[in-house]
Structure 1
């Protein structure tokens, strides 16, 4: 039987940058904020962590730092995907070598592989590491969907244990096809409750960067049978989520982390600063939520 890496909320944590690299002091503060706030796992060097702008040595150094700082208190899931299968294998092996508890592996982007190609891509990655793999299906960024039947075939591989699913329309099919052993996580903050209601195990979350406790509690309440409490939390977050996605992620959430008082810095190019109008929207929603 496959054991999920986590049940609940995993934060897709931002990477704080300076002009010269990573601000490890602030990263430590953010990690401690997440653990204190109840996050059930930390995803480092994912989309929200701007992995696409990080050279491999920096990428692996951040994973290693997170592993050592967290020190087994909660699982560390390392973003290690690529649209080059050989590169994805190298990153995955390196993440395993520095102690990551699992990896998050995104659908290959730009190449637009066939479903057979997707299967072979993830199978090769799985064959080269022993740690658990969470697939990351995000058609909005990759312009490509991993079909339910392909995920079913991948779920038969021992160390492919879960999917971060951003295609809500196929969540029910995945639960039916893959069974209880395979964890389905919401990849979108505004669909946590719908995914849970269809058999999901939690969320890999952007909003948890600023509201870790509420994101964790939403899932906990659902599994404890407090469905109304979980729904109330989901509805309470919706306006904040709109502000957090007023521009492409992670531009707004990084601004939000800065508004909380952390020195997360700016996003790396080609991402730019949040516009003045959207910054005011974000500030207003964070104030309405009681965050600032």
Structure 2
């Protein structure tokens, strides 16, 4: 099963949002619609994995039971999607419980952050957390180096050691340094799949750094474009991949601005509204993701229109 995840990370690592109704409950019907939309438009088990209940899926705003419920719905599509459970938690036992549930119910892998409440400046904090997590399950593990959440950029020597753990088969590398991303691939790439954690923003340039694929939150509203970028990249046609990626610049420009104004919480709200605009279900954000103003929604609509998506 670990090999299944590692193989799947040679492609798109789609990061799914979690739609909520106005009363805050999980919109299972809407989520099914979103997953069907991705599959219909070319993001499926042939070229991708899909992460469920990760940071972009608002895992920090859900209970463990809710996260398992979201996973249950995604696993209904297990014949067409390679489902990876987001298992981020500050509590290693909760992370393990999520991963065991995922393993028992058919997910191909689990994504986990190293400790992130306080920055794990002592290497033992990261290594002990991940080693305990990995020893508790048999499915493949995708390590998530989220610098913004963790408060530090996981050093390459730690990545090197984690890559020796048998079922650690992937690294979602969100370092702000392209050089570091390349070094992670140089040092650990023979043992695990190093995925460009900045998505289409760094494509297809990240291919030259040795990454095996890229994450895509844009697959929620632009799956056809994400699939086309991957197809062009995988055949070595970087000019075509960049041309498709550049069509998404109006959205990317707005995402960069929103991130500067309100951090990733505001970007999630942006992403959810963009998903609504293309006919899927972004739904309502949960606190602390902000409710967008009418002016912000109008800006998003213009950006999505300028991308040629509506």
TM-score range, shorter chain: over 0.9
**CA distance, structure 2, for counterparts of residue 174 and residue 168 of structure 1:** 13
Cα deviations across residues 103-124 of structure 1 (Å, max 9, x unaligned)? Answer: 1112321222222210111111
Please report how far the alpha carbon of residue 16 of structure 1 lies from its aligned counterpart in structure 2 after TM superposition. 1.0
Residue 27 of structure 1, aligned match among 24, 31, 49: 31
Please report how far the alpha carbon of residue 273 of structure 1 lies from its aligned counterpart in structure 2 after TM superposition. 1.3
Taking a change above 3 Å as real, the CA distance of residues 128 and 179 of structure 1, as seen in their structure-2 partners, is same
Note the 1:1-292 alignment, pairs <5 A: 2=3, 3-18=6-21, 19=23, 21-39=25-43, 40-67=48-75, 69-113=76-120, 114-169=122-177, 170-189=180-199, 190-245=201-256, 246-247=258-259, 248-292=266-310
**CA distance, structure 2, for counterparts of residue 249 and residue 104 of structure 1:** 21
Q: Which moved more, 1:186-195 or 1:10-19?
A: 186-195
Please report how far the alpha carbon of residue 218 of structure 1 lies from its aligned counterpart in structure 2 after TM superposition. 1.1
Please report how far the alpha carbon of residue 255 of structure 1 lies from its aligned counterpart in structure 2 after TM superposition. 0.8
TM-score (norm 1): 0.94
**CA distance, structure 1, for counterparts of residue 127 and residue 60 of structure 2:** 23
Query: Which secondary structure does the structure 2 equivalent of 1:172 belong to?
Result: helix
Query: Which secondary structure does the structure 2 equivalent of 1:4 belong to?
Result: helix
Query: Which secondary structure does the structure 1 equivalent of 2:282 belong to?
Result: coil
Structure 1, unmatched stretches of 5+, are none
Cα deviations across residues 139-198 of structure 1 (Å, max 9, x unaligned)? Answer: 122212211110110011111011111114211111111133311111113113232111
Please report how far the alpha carbon of residue 281 of structure 1 lies from its aligned counterpart in structure 2 after TM superposition. 2.0
**CA distance, structure 2, for counterparts of residue 42 and residue 238 of structure 1:** 23
Taking a change above 3 Å as real, the CA distance of residues 182 and 214 of structure 1, as seen in their structure-2 partners, is same
**CA distance, structure 2, for counterparts of residue 157 and residue 91 of structure 1:** 20
What RMSD over aligned residues (CA atoms) do the two structures have, in Å?
A: 1.7
**CA distance, structure 2, for counterparts of residue 144 and residue 254 of structure 1:** 27
Query: Which secondary structure does the structure 2 equivalent of 1:118 belong to?
Result: helix
Q: Would the aligned equivalents of 1:96 and 1:131 in 2 still touch at CA under 8 Å?
A: yes
Over 3 Å off, 4+ runs: none
Q: Would the aligned equivalents of 1:168 and 1:195 in 2 still touch at CA under 8 Å?
A: no
Query: Which secondary structure does the structure 1 equivalent of 2:57 belong to?
Result: coil
**CA distance, structure 2, for counterparts of residue 124 and residue 91 of structure 1:** 14
Q: How many residues align?
A: 291
